[in-house]
């Protein structure tokens, strides 16, 4: 039987510290190749076709503007098939982002498939688009849009819930259809 605790004792103190940080903080920004390797060993993956801005910001050397651009592209339906696609989207040489590859996951989603719900950004979606989400009627879709117009974009799911006064059970259903 494999003893995972015994395996970590063979790591140097710096590696143990990195492992502890990665386990403790899900949004820890990776700083080096060594940290990427340890993250990969821990099973940390970034699904490039569903990554949020926060997910992208975990990668060393990526700017907030690049992270926002990648998240926006994927929310607009662009699917990244390989590391070369990411490099092209960022306008960078492939060689510069190859170190990220151990934690990148290139999963593909069929918009017509019923297996993965189609997500919408409530900060850009129209009333018609919002009303295609199960459990969102025309009244709520209009309320979402009006609140956005009155108070600005929703920062995240928690902000969305608070501003609209939605019950936790309802948010539990909606969270699979919304992407910020």
**Confidence class for position 1, pLDDT limits 50, 70, 90:** very low
CA distance 99 to 42: 16
Q: Which residue has the tokens 């060594």?
A: 34
Kindly state whether residue 115 falls inside one of the protein's structural domains: no
- Put simply, whether the predicted model's pTM sits higher than 0.85 gets the answer no
Mark whether 38 and 101 lie in a shared domain.
yes
Mark whether 35 and 84 lie in a shared domain.
yes
In the prediction, which pLDDT does 173 show?
A: 85
Q: What is the pLDDT of residues 5-50, one digit of tens each?
A: 445 456 688 888 888 888 888 788 999 999 999 999 888 899 998 8
Kindly state whether residue 1 falls inside one of the protein's structural domains: no
Domain hosting residue 51, numbered range: 29-105
**Number of separate domains in the chain:** 2
In the prediction, which pLDDT does 113 show?
A: 56
Q: What is the pLDDT of residues 48-66, one digit of tens each?
A: 988 999 999 999 999 999 9
In the prediction, which pLDDT does 24 show?
A: 85
**Confidence class for position 134, pLDDT limits 50, 70, 90:** confident
Mark whether 35 and 100 lie in a shared domain.
yes
Residue 2 pLDDT more than 50? no
Kindly state whether residue 99 falls inside one of the protein's structural domains: yes
Kindly state whether residue 146 falls inside one of the protein's structural domains: yes
Mark whether 132 and 74 lie in a shared domain.
no
Residue 163 pLDDT more than 60? yes
CA angle, 36 as apex, 12 and 89 as ends, to 5°?
165
Q: What is the 3-state secondary structure (H, E, C) of the chain?
A: CCCHHHHHCCCCHHHHHHHHHHHHCCCCCCCCHHHHHHHHHCCCCEECCCCCHHHHCCCCCCCHHHHHHHHHHHHCCCCCCCHHHHHHHHCCCHHHHHHHHHHEECCCCCCCCCCCCCCECCCCCCHHHHCCCCCCCHHHHHHHHHHHHHHCCCCCHHHHHHHHCCCHHHHHHHCCCECC
In the prediction, which pLDDT does 83 show?
A: 95
Q: Which of 57-66, 116-125, 158-167 has the lowest mean pLDDT?
A: 116-125
Mark whether 82 and 145 lie in a shared domain.
no
CA distance 104 to 82: 9
Mark whether 34 and 100 lie in a shared domain.
yes
Kindly state whether residue 5 falls inside one of the protein's structural domains: no
Q: Are the C-beta atoms of 30 and 62 separated by less than 8 Å?
A: no
Please give the average per-residue pLDDT across 129-149, as a whole number.
93
Instruction: Return the closest-CA partner of residue 151 out of 120, 108, 122, 111.
Output: 122
In the prediction, which pLDDT does 132 show?
A: 87
Mark whether 132 and 91 lie in a shared domain.
no
Q: 69 or 1: which carries more pLDDT confidence?
A: 69
Kindly state whether residue 2 falls inside one of the protein's structural domains: no
């Amino acid at each position: 039987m494999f003893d995972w605790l015994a395996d970590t004792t063979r790591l140097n103190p710096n590696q143990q510290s990195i492992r502890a940080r990665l386990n403790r903080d899900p949004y820890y920004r990776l700083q080096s190749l060594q940290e990427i390797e340890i993250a990969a060993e821990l099973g940390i993956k970034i699904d490039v076709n569903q990554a949020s801005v926060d997910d992208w910001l975990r990668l060393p050397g990526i700017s907030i503007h690049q992270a926002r651009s990648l998240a926006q592209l994927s929310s607009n339906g662009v699917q990244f098939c390989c590391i070369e696609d990411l490099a092209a989207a960022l306008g960078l040489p492939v060689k510069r982002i190859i170190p990220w590859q151990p934690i990148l996951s290139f999963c593909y989603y069929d918009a017509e498939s019923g297996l993965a719900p189609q997500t919408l950004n409530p900060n850009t979606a129209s009333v018609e688009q919002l009303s295609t989400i199960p459990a969102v009627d025309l009244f709520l879709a209009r309320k979402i849009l009006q609140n956005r117009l009155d108070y600005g974009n929703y920062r995240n799911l928690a902000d969305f819930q608070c501003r609209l006064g939605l019950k936790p059970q309802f948010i539990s259903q909606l969270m699979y259809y919304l992407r910020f």
